[in-house]
Copies of this chain bind each other. A is one copy, B any other.
Amino acid sequence: MQIISFSIIQTWERFYRANFINCLTGFKSVNLVGTLHKNGQPNLGIFSSVVHIGSDPALIGYINRPVKAAPHTLANIQSTGVYTINHIHSSFLEQAHQTSAKYPDGVSEFDEVGLTPEFLENLPAPFVKESKVKYALTLEEIIPIKLNDTFLVIGKVQQVCLEEHIVLPDGFLELDKVSSICSNGIDGYYSTRLINRYHYAKPGERTTRMTK
């Protein structure tokens, strides 16, 4: 095993460090966030920092980089109060990654990368039509993280749109059945395979696998 200290990490070249540190968190959720500019222009961005905040009510967060580095999604959310989070599947992974390019204001990433905006029930935020698990949120709170000028953006789930066959009788979603992907680092994407589900753990009992 190799041991690396903070003082060594600080000497590294910027992209080497970004790759390394972004991998430390492990395999992570990666999604497309859809928003609408107040002039009606759709916007789509890829985010690998979506995090569960709570189930009752259903609150989901993501980390937005500093305004200077990533202004459009945050400004649109502040303006309309609504946004969508869309799972990425292997079938449109290259288009999803391409949304990370720094397109100028006034350009729709949907058009540029070849994905289809979809509007459901008059919500002022575009879903990704190609996505098989997606949901709309209303903004609840933007919490500034002063340590590095990022933001924790928290929304409440208002509407979920998904392929019904992946919902198990206990509410669990078989995301591997629709090839939702996960990511590692800043540019690696992975498919997944179920190892197992386990019963609710209790002290003094051995962990047991769920029968499928």
Contact = CB atoms under 8 A, between A and B. Distances in A.
A53 B172 CA distance: 28
A157 B21 contact: yes
A73 interface: no
Q: How large is the interface on A (under 10, 10 to 19, 20 to 34, 35 or more residues)?
A: 35 or more
A190 B194 contact: yes
A209 to B, nearest CB: 8
Contact of A141 (B3, B147, B161): B147
| This protein's copies in its complex | 2
A193 interface: yes
B63 A147 contact: no
A13 B14 CA distance: 48
B160 A4 contact: yes
Contacts of A104: 203
A163 to B, nearest CB: 6
A43 interface: no
Most buried by B among A52, A141, A173: A52
Interface string A47-67: 011111111111111010000
Contacts of A196: 93, 188-189
A197 B190 contact: no
A93 B157 contact: no
Contacts of A170: 15-16, 19
Given A16-B171, A161-B1, A190-B176, A52 B28 contact: yes
Interface in A134-149: 135, 140-141, 143, 145-148
B12 A171 contact: yes
Interface string A87-98: 100100111011
Given A182-B27, A210-B187, A52 B58 contact: no
Given A27-B180, A197-B187, A198-B94, A17 B56 contact: yes
Nearest 6 A/B pairs, CB to CB = A19-B171, A23-B173, A16-B171, A27-B182, A26-B29, A101-B201
19 contacts: A5-B159, A10-B57, A14-B56, A18-B55, A20-B173, A21-B52, A26-B133, A27-B27, A53-B63, A53-B150, A57-B148, A93-B196, A94-B207, A172-B185, A188-B196, A190-B192, A190-B195, A191-B193, A193-B193
